[in-house]
Each structure stands twice: as structure tokens, then as C-alpha cells.
Chain A
Amino acid sequence: MEKRNLTCIVCPMGCSLEVTLENGVVSAVTGNTCPRGDAYARAECTHPTRVLTTTVRVSGGVKPLVSVKSAGAIPKEDLFAAMEQINAMTIPAPVQLGQVLIPDLCGSGISLIATGAVEQKGN
């Protein structure tokens, strides 16, 4: 039996979690104050994932960039590959809040969506 101490990163509360692993399988999570903490601890010990937030270049807009996020958590080891895919693209304005910019980020099945809006220049 192995015990691991984690800090939950799901929300700013940052609960201290204690995870009990038996033969690499999570058998118990304590210290969490909500179900999301339990899910985080289980994922972190088996296959850690993160939500990615960054920006995408915009052409012809009133702003040069639009802020974006992955619609869900993607595998942690794919963060830099995802950044490369995102930084290689330019989106023409206008961009709407919530618009899907990449349907499948790095083969994760998770989409990349705009978290801001950019109007077209001159409009």
C-alpha cells in the first residue's frame, strides 16, 4: 500500500488530498471537500490531465489575439504539442466567444474554444 499527498488544483480552495494506492490502483481518496477532488486525485495518480489556456493569432481583427481554452482537460504530456499546433494557426476575424477553433486538439478528442471575442477591423 502506498500513500501520496496531493494538492487539489480543481479550484482555488486547494484541498490537501491523501491518496491510497494499492498495486498502482487508487483505493481511497481523503481530504477532498467535493467530488471533483476525488476525480482529480484518481486522474492525477493514473493519467494526469490539465486544461490548457493560451491565445490564438487573429488576422483582420480589432485585436491581434483571442484567448482560448481546451474545452476539457488534455493529457499533461501533450501540453507542448498542443501549444505547437495552436501557435501554428491564425484565425480570421470575427471570432465569437465559445467558437470552436480546433475540433480535436492533438488527437485528444478535446476541442479548443475561444474564451473571448474579436470583432472585424473597420466594423
Chain B
Amino acid sequence: MKQVDLVIIGGGPAGMAAALGAYRKGVRNLLILDREQQLGGILEQCIHNGFGLHHFKEELTGPEYAARYAEEVKENGIPYLLDTMVLDLSQAADGSGDKIVTAVSSQEGYLQLRAKAVVLAMGCRERPRGALNIAGTRPAGIYTAGAAQKFVNLKGYMPGKEVVILGSGDIGLIMARRMTLEGAKVRAVCELMPYSGGLTRNIVQCLEDFGIPLKLSHTVVKIHGRERLEGVTIAAVDASRKPVPGSEEFIPCDTLLLSVGLIPENELSRAAGVEMDAVTGGARVDQNRQTSIPGVFACGNVLHVHDLVDYVSEEAELAGSCAAEYLMDAAVNAECWEVSARDGVRYVVPQCVRKDADKPFSLYFRVGDVYKDVRIVVKCGEKVLLSRAKKKVAPGEMECLPLNAQVLEQIDGDLTVCLEQKGAE
């Protein structure tokens, strides 16, 4: 069996940045595995701009952002194997702590690798229609927004002419503009919640620019058509998100795009026995992005869904460099303090912090609702470590709280992150 120090599963933005992070720390016997025919992951189909402003200080499109990383991977001679699907991740039976990665590859056939460390960077996938329980028939013409994006941007096929979009996440908004530019008529974007899950700039430049109505607190209650979609019935929803009788409206359309959430793709992680976080759908990790299995790290959208690829790269670089440190000093298996989310905060990554943490790190989290004039508070027991005022927080925007060395010194117990009404202190 081939021996590798570090296997990185996934060659998207997370996998490439993790590989570079490990490479910069001196790891040379590493390998990136990806199921696609090129590095870059989902960025290849994200042809719109807005990527890289934090990381490269300039506005790039998805393919350009991916190309920068792919070039760096190639320049450094980091090996990667494409057209390769990882089927299984397990721990070696000999108690060595090594991991066994099983894959199939068009080039290598059935492939087993023995790795000292693994970085999980498989990304996420879209919630499908089946997860929504929309009543009605099952005609052609219903796609997830990302599938439609792949058809339009990579294959050159238009999924339809008259479109309704359910869900106002960023992919849905981006596709509303894309379909419009390519000649389709987008009749409406319906959003179950009273606020959009997407970035405000996307509501402006993807919907308002083209006069596409955004129907907040609305959902699709019925699908019509036998062979091909003929229309949808939408309805307003009340505060408990139940359709309001009498508010139904029929919209004729041949295409329904679903932009209703992303799910980290963790089949491999679960099968390997990695402890999961039920809220993020990703692994539970410490501040180094190490999972419950020593030597298995996770980063990017497979860990928790990010809004910006810049943050994915940042997190993956950290995971990669920490994997390199693990390879140098594999014996470390430190105790941790727990980090938990409370009072308006839905989740926090990392979920635990090593007691021997000596480098500054950041807490990433999302809130459960839209709040105005709040204070984000990090506590250790009853002690307030950090408190920051925010004008507005929303579930669609990931928050980041850097903890500096001074704060780090004060940690002597479990941490909680919560929201407090401003002025409550």
C-alpha cells in the first residue's frame, strides 16, 4: 500500500489552500484527491465576480480565484490525482494511528493509500426538492440552483425560459441574474423567511437591477404539470412559516430553481467515525481544525458552510499547517475546553479549544435570526472575555471574532458565545 504523509480529500478552494498550508510547513509527501477533471471545485461554475477581495485585495471571478491557487499548487509541484473518487476513510487496524484512504481513479483504478494525516475538504452539496416536501406532481424542469448554474455556465444549456426561484440564498440570487442575462424571464424569487439569506449586494445587483420581485415570507406550496413543469402555486406564510389560506397565487413557469440550503458532504467523515456537530452538519473541531480523530482535519464547506471563499482559504490554510504540525509531533492529544453557542447564536466553530492553545485564533459563528443593536459576548464561565457591539447581525452573514493572546491567557474553562441586547450591561 502506498504510504503518504498527508492526503487531502477534495481539490477545491479548501483542499488547495490546505495543501499549500501544509507545503509551506515543510510537508512534501502529500497528495490531493479530487473527483473532477480539474482542480478548483465549485469555483469553476461560479463565473460571477466578487471573490478574493479579502485575500488577494482585488475582485476576481470564481475561475480566476481557483486558477491562482491551482497555479501555486502546480508551481510547487504538489501532487494531485484527478478523476478520483474517495470511497472510504478508515483507521488502520494496527493501532498505528494511520488512516486508510480507499478511492477509485480513472488513471490508477482501485487505490488504497496509507496516510499519517488526512484533511477533509469535500465541500457541500445542495438541499434537493425531496428535502422540502412540496406537494404536487414530479415533472421535469425542477433543478437545484447549482445544477442549473452548471448547465448554463459549464455546459451551455438553458434549463428553461420562465423561471421561479425558491430560496434567496446567494446561489439563487446569482442564478436569477444569470438566467435573465441569458434571456429567461425570472418571475419571482420566493423566500420562506421574512429576510433574505443572501448578501444585500446580491439583492441589489441580481434582483433590483432587473426588476425581479423578491417575495419574502412566501413559499411554493404546489407544483403543476405532468411531463414538464407548467407552473407553481405560491403562498404567503405566517410567523410560524405555515401557508396562509387564501393567499395562494398561481405563477406559470417551466422551470423552478431551488436555492434552499447547503449541506456539508460528510459521508466519508461519518463512516470514519468522526464526531459531528448536529447544527453545522460538519465535524466537531478544535481551533486547529482537528476533528475527534487525531490526525484528521476538516476545513471549508465540509466543516461549516461559508459565505465567502476568502474565509474558506484562510481556514484551510490553517488546517493544512496544523496537519503539518501534527505530522511533526503526532503524540499530542491535548485536553480541550468546550465552546458552546447560546442566546441567539446558532453555532460556533471551533467547537472546542485545546487547553494548551498558545496562538491567537478566531471564533466563527452564525446567529439564528436578524438582530439589531446587539452585543456579541464571549464568556469563560461568568467572566466576560470579549464584548463587541454590532448594528445588525443576520443568519446569512458569518461573524468572526478574533481572540488575541491577552484573551487567550484568561481562558481557564469552557467558553460560551452569546448575544446580549445593547445597553443590558
Chain A residues in contact with chain B, CB under 8 A?
6-12, 14, 50-55, 57, 63-65, 67-69, 76, 79-80, 83, 87, 97, 115-117
Do B61 and A53 have beta carbons less than 8 Å apart?
yes
Do A83 and B67 have beta carbons less than 8 Å apart?
no
Do A12 and B201 have beta carbons less than 8 Å apart?
yes
Do A55 and B204 have beta carbons less than 8 Å apart?
no
Do A9 and B201 have beta carbons less than 8 Å apart?
yes
Within B191-209, which residues are at the interface with A (CB < 8 Å)? 199-201, 203-205, 209
Specify which chain B residues have a CB less than 8 angstroms from the CB of A57 in the assembled complex: 156
The residue of chain A having its C-beta at the shortest distance from the C-beta of B157 within the complex is A64
Specify which chain A residues have a CB less than 8 angstroms from the CB of B203 in the assembled complex: 7
A83–B209 CA distance with the chains assembled, in angstroms: 15
A63–B40 CA distance with the chains assembled, in angstroms: 15
Given A65-B156, A83-B181, A97-B64, CB of A14 within 8 Å of CB of B199? yes
Do A79 and B156 have beta carbons less than 8 Å apart?
no
Chain B residues in contact with chain A, CB under 8 A?
44, 47-50, 53, 59-64, 67, 152-156, 178, 181-183, 199-201, 203-205, 209, 307-308
Do A67 and B47 have beta carbons less than 8 Å apart?
yes
From A57, A67, A80, residue with most partner B Cβ within 10 Å: A67
Specify which chain B residues have a CB less than 8 angstroms from the CB of A65 in the assembled complex: 153-156
A104–B344 CA distance with the chains assembled, in angstroms: 51
Do A69 and B155 have beta carbons less than 8 Å apart?
no
A68–B204 CA distance with the chains assembled, in angstroms: 22
Specify which chain A residues have a CB less than 8 angstroms from the CB of B182 in the assembled complex: 54, 83, 87
A83–B177 CA distance with the chains assembled, in angstroms: 12
Do B181 and A12 have beta carbons less than 8 Å apart?
no
Q: For the complex formed, measure the closest distance between the CB of A84 and the CB atoms of chain B, giving whole angstroms.
A: 9
Specify which chain A residues have a CB less than 8 angstroms from the CB of B62 in the assembled complex: 67
Q: For the complex formed, measure the closest distance between the CB of B75 and the CB atoms of chain A, giving whole angstroms.
A: 15
Complex partner residue of A51 from B49, B156, B209, CB under 8 angstroms: B49
A1–B53 CA distance with the chains assembled, in angstroms: 34
Do B64 and A55 have beta carbons less than 8 Å apart?
no
Specify which chain B residues have a CB less than 8 angstroms from the CB of A11 in the assembled complex: 50, 53, 59, 201
Specify which chain A residues have a CB less than 8 angstroms from the CB of B64 in the assembled complex: 97, 115-116
Complex partner residue of B199 from A10, A12, A50, A52, CB under 8 angstroms: A12
A52–B181 CA distance with the chains assembled, in angstroms: 9
Do A7 and B154 have beta carbons less than 8 Å apart?
no
Given A8-B201, A83-B181, CB of A69 within 8 Å of CB of B49? yes
Complex partner residue of A115 from B61, B154, B181, CB under 8 angstroms: B61
Specify which chain B residues have a CB less than 8 angstroms from the CB of A116 in the assembled complex: 44, 47, 63-64, 67
Specify which chain B residues have a CB less than 8 angstroms from the CB of A8 in the assembled complex: 201
A79–B53 CA distance with the chains assembled, in angstroms: 24
- 7 A-B pairs besides A14-B199, A50-B209 with CB distance below 8 A are A9-B205, A55-B47, A55-B152, A69-B61, A83-B182, A83-B183, A116-B63
